[in-house]
Structure 1
Amino acid sequence: MKARNGRTVRDLRRGNRAAVLRQLYFDGPLTRFDLGPATGLSSGSVSNVVAELIADGVVEEAGSVDSDGGRPRTLLRVRPESGHLIGVDVGETRVRVELFDLSLAEVSRAERPLEPQRYDVEVVTGHIRDSVAEVLATAGLAPERLLGVGIGVPGIVARDAERGATVHGQTIGWDAVPLEALLRERAGLPERVPYFIDNGAKTLGQAEMWFGAGRGAGDAVVVLFGSGVGACLVADDVEHGRALEWGHLTVRVRGRRCRCGALGCLEAYAGAEALVARWQEAGGRPPAGADEESALTALLAAAYPERDGTPDPVALEVLEETAEYLGAGLSDLVNLFQPERILIGGWAGLQLGTRFLPSVRRHATAYSLHHPAGRVRIELGRLGPDAVTVGAATLPLADFLSRGGHRDNAAAEEDGPAPAWRSALRERVVR
């Protein structure tokens, strides 16, 4: 039976379940009385939906609170054990895989290193397959119990009906790699377990907007600053974010060659790989055999020595020049999108941290138009260097919430304290 707006009764029921479940997930524990005004549903509809969710094991009672002169009201929350999710970060130096419960508390993790400049498709898919199997085995969890696997990758992700998600990663040498089809063929997960593949900056953006420094903002740009740089725009018309190939804006005509092959890209100056290379070219000496993260640590130690040490002028100059390039790049985002916030995350952005941020802010303001510059706040992300895996896990989580807590599409067609996610992610907060 269809309602006047074309929606069926089944659609309405599923929408009601999704509204209640989202409210409990992001703002719970809540009482049935609280859920009415929060969702706009009648008390009868709330009671029916809550009864279904409790019967399905998705929601549980979580104590009670006093009411005004009546009986105590029962608090409700989403059961963390009612579902499990996997988040995958195909990063610059490693493939990281984490298994989470529904509150996004980490259950187990696995990491496998990637050799510099080695993004062989067979190697990456093998790392994902083996790491997924490892985290499931460590937790003693059957693959059938997964709600889905979310994967953040460098590059542009396109989708088609035949091959699923396809990755165009020019900087890593991936030309239309059918990653979803390859994983479906090789990873050994049941057919009913969905894959959700998207740009890594976009997954970071969703995590920061849901749980981190972007929470409460109407619009923001979230920057992923690692070996390279990328960004994600979140605004009213792009609720779940739009990946921006920001690192490949031209900041210097006939400048340094970027990993993508072009000249003068922002990434060729402001990415961690380029930053360390420029330090070496200027006479800096990272430790022999150091990986990129260790080399960046050495650069920071040279520029900002502890206690009474003398700063290395070469290291300081390279960092200041990088801050200016990054600030100029941020000014493009400020002028183009006029966001409320710009959030800088990624392992390199967080490692450079508060010492680097004032200079970046100063240059961003200098290169921006006055009005949008006066509106924006430029801050560090709050979810730590593992935020891409958290963001990747939010992809199947968002799907689960939108289906009202049904485990798969077939099922979907059938008739006080802080929220759990806040406690689970507290240890990830950048202090």
Structure 2
Amino acid sequence: MLHRTTAETGTRVHARSGRTVRDLRRENRTAVLRRLYFDGPMSRLVLGPATGLSSGSVSNVVAELVAEGLVEEAGSVDSAGGRPRTLLRISPASSCMIGVDIGETRVRIELFDLTLTELARAERPLASSGPRTARYDVEVIVGHLRDGIAEVLRIADVPPERLLGVGVGVPGIVSRTGEDGSVVHGQTIGWHAVPLERLLRSAVELPAGVPYWIDNGAKTLGQAEMWFGAGRGARSAVVVLFGSGVGACVVSDPLGPGRALEWGHLTVRVRGRRCRCGAQGCLEAYAGAEALLERWREAGGQPPADADEETALTAMLAAAYPPGPGTEPDLTALAVLEETAEYLGAGFSDLINLFQPERILVGGWAGLQLGARFLETVTAYARQYALRYPASRTGIALGTLGPEAVTVGAALLPLADFFARGGRRPETAPITPAPAWQAALQDRVTT
């Protein structure tokens, strides 16, 4: 087998693949950690076939992980005629993660151990009245996160150095720059190129080595459902998030990151209702909770006065589908909801035709409420509008992790990176001097 040695590091490299011995060790550690995390406890004997590693490789990796405190013994099981086999599992107390959901009605901050047991929680309500942009004032949001992160660490008595990172789910598109880190473009909430990561690093008292992972809330929901919820076992899925607005995430690798879609701003009606993004005819202008309540009010309905969106949507559903026998439904609310079901079905058909997913999963506080009432109707419309073949191969169901799954998914962002690194924390890159030619040319430019 051919190998070469790099002049820069002296690391042995496989000539064909370009992978170093260090890369292989990291991949072996990742394989063992993931298998123990998702399917443990397991014995060393079972880990070999489950990961595809030799017994020697498994023993070496397990010894390292046990020495580092990432893996611990979890009892034993009898073997066929031999000594009992020791079971291994991920050590819950070895590290922690924080997950944050910047939602429509509140900011939720949760601290989890490595196995996603909640250790502490803090919530900060957002104003229910006034302009939306005022509700999402950047300084207010950053202040909520600063205080909430300090609160959960204090409640659980966890030193910040144990954190793998802070994951944050946000409404909007996230880009990244070398200077500011994660930058949020949230058109519907008045966030225009907000350097959220830089602002958090300045405001939150955490060690410089603790990373921030900021991403779209639908994407974090998708990761949670694929790892632990209704997406488990699926090769591909689209996870849709319904709250005040509408978003989605398409996943083609069950363990990899999904891709956020601005599905709510797909045009479903030319020159239709004005969306809160400023355009006309967006799906969100018909199917988001905020738009649903506005349409009910415009049609003559009477949402509860001074109620937040969650309470008002619950009242609308109760009016359209009265729980008690003999109670007449509110025909106005019922008509608005039935029209919404068709819009959603058409929107789902676009997802089916574009991505041909194995599953479409519905989540978010509004999605779970609406889906419990008329998901079958939405599914029927989706199959009516979509191409028959991909529609016949796509299942549509509710998510199973509840309305707070965005927070769990946000906490998975640093955890997924930790696993990809083989259970090692990010290393600070050494500072190397620039090549001589670069400095010389820079001098010519500045003189």
Q: TM-score, normalised by structure 1?
A: 0.93
1:329 is matched with which residue? 347
Matching of residues 347-426 of structure 1 within 5 Å: 347-409=365-427
AA partner of residue 294 (structure 1) = T
AA partner of residue 233 (structure 2) = G
**What is the CA distance between 1:236 and its match in structure 2?**
4.2
**What is the CA distance between 1:243 and its match in structure 2?**
0.3
Change (3 A) 1:148 1:238: closer
Is the aligned partner of 1:225 residue 2:237?
no
Question: d(CA) in 1 for partners of 2:22 and 2:356?
Answer: 40
Q: Supply the RMSD in Å over aligned alpha carbons.
A: 1.4
**What is the CA distance between 1:267 and its match in structure 2?**
0.2
Question: d(CA) in 1 for partners of 2:425 and 2:96?
Answer: 11
Is the aligned partner of 1:93 residue 2:105?
yes
**What is the CA distance between 1:379 and its match in structure 2?**
0.2
**What is the CA distance between 1:187 and its match in structure 2?**
1.1
AA partner of residue 2 (structure 1) = R
Question: d(CA) in 2 for partners of 1:390 and 1:30?
Answer: 25
Check the 8 A contact 2:237/2:360 in 1, yes or no.
Answer: yes
For 1:198-250, what per-residue CA distance to the aligned partner results, in whole angstroms no more than 9, with x for missing partners? 00000000000010000110110000011000000001499310000000000
**What is the CA distance between 1:96 and its match in structure 2?**
0.6
For 1:250-288, what per-residue CA distance to the aligned partner results, in whole angstroms no more than 9, with x for missing partners? 001111100100000000000000001111111111211
AA partner of residue 324 (structure 2) = R
2:57 is matched with which residue? 45
Question: d(CA) in 2 for partners of 1:115 and 1:321?
Answer: 30
The residue matched to 1:109 in structure 2 has which SS?
Answer: strand
Mean Cα deviation higher: 11-20 or 291-300: 11-20
Is the aligned partner of 1:151 residue 2:168?
yes
Q: Which of the residues 165, 184, 192 maps onto 1:167? A: 184
Question: d(CA) in 2 for partners of 1:52 and 1:168?
Answer: 42
Is the aligned partner of 1:74 residue 2:86?
yes
**What is the CA distance between 1:114 and its match in structure 2?**
1.4
Rg larger in structure: 2
For 1:112-157, what per-residue CA distance to the aligned partner results, in whole angstroms no more than 9, with x for missing partners? 1112412111111111111111111111111121110000001110
Check the 8 A contact 2:40/2:89 in 1, yes or no.
Answer: yes
Q: Percent identity?
A: 74
Mean Cα deviation higher: 263-272 or 31-40: 31-40
1:193 is matched with which residue? 210
1:290 is matched with which residue? 307
The residue matched to 2:396 in structure 1 has which SS?
Answer: strand
Is the aligned partner of 1:245 residue 2:262?
yes
Question: d(CA) in 2 for partners of 1:339 and 1:353?
Answer: 19
**What is the CA distance between 1:16 and its match in structure 2?**
1.2
Whose RCO is larger (CA < 8 A, sep 6+)? Answer: 1
The residue matched to 2:112 in structure 1 has which SS?
Answer: strand
**What is the CA distance between 1:343 and its match in structure 2?**
0.1
Is the aligned partner of 1:3 residue 2:13?
yes
AA partner of residue 320 (structure 1) = E
Matching of residues 337-348 of structure 1 within 5 Å: 337-348=355-366
Question: d(CA) in 1 for partners of 2:140 and 2:40?
Answer: 42
The residue matched to 1:198 in structure 2 has which SS?
Answer: strand
AA partner of residue 100 (structure 2) = V
Is the aligned partner of 1:15 residue 2:27?
yes
Equivalent residues, number: 411
Question: d(CA) in 1 for partners of 2:215 and 2:171?
Answer: 9
The residue matched to 1:103 in structure 2 has which SS?
Answer: coil
Question: d(CA) in 1 for partners of 2:137 and 2:248?
Answer: 24
**What is the CA distance between 1:353 and its match in structure 2?**
3.1
5+ residue gaps, structure 1, are 412-431
Question: d(CA) in 2 for partners of 1:265 and 1:124?
Answer: 27
Question: d(CA) in 1 for partners of 2:390 and 2:94?
Answer: 44
AA partner of residue 12 (structure 2) = K
**What is the CA distance between 1:410 and its match in structure 2?**
5.4
For 1:299-336, what per-residue CA distance to the aligned partner results, in whole angstroms no more than 9, with x for missing partners? 01101111212211111111111111111111110111
AA partner of residue 157 (structure 1) = V
Question: d(CA) in 2 for partners of 1:393 and 1:346?
Answer: 17
The residue matched to 1:329 in structure 2 has which SS?
Answer: helix
**What is the CA distance between 1:11 and its match in structure 2?**
2.0
Mean Cα deviation higher: 282-291 or 265-274: 282-291
1:209 is matched with which residue? 226
Question: d(CA) in 2 for partners of 1:376 and 1:357?
Answer: 14
Q: Which of the residues 285, 296, 310 maps onto 1:268? A: 285
Q: Which of the residues 99, 102, 114 maps onto 2:114? A: 102
Question: d(CA) in 2 for partners of 1:179 and 1:123?
Answer: 12
AA partner of residue 266 (structure 1) = L
Check the 8 A contact 2:241/2:247 in 1, yes or no.
Answer: yes
AA partner of residue 125 (structure 2) = P
Question: d(CA) in 2 for partners of 1:33 and 1:239?
Answer: 27
AA partner of residue 369 (structure 2) = Q
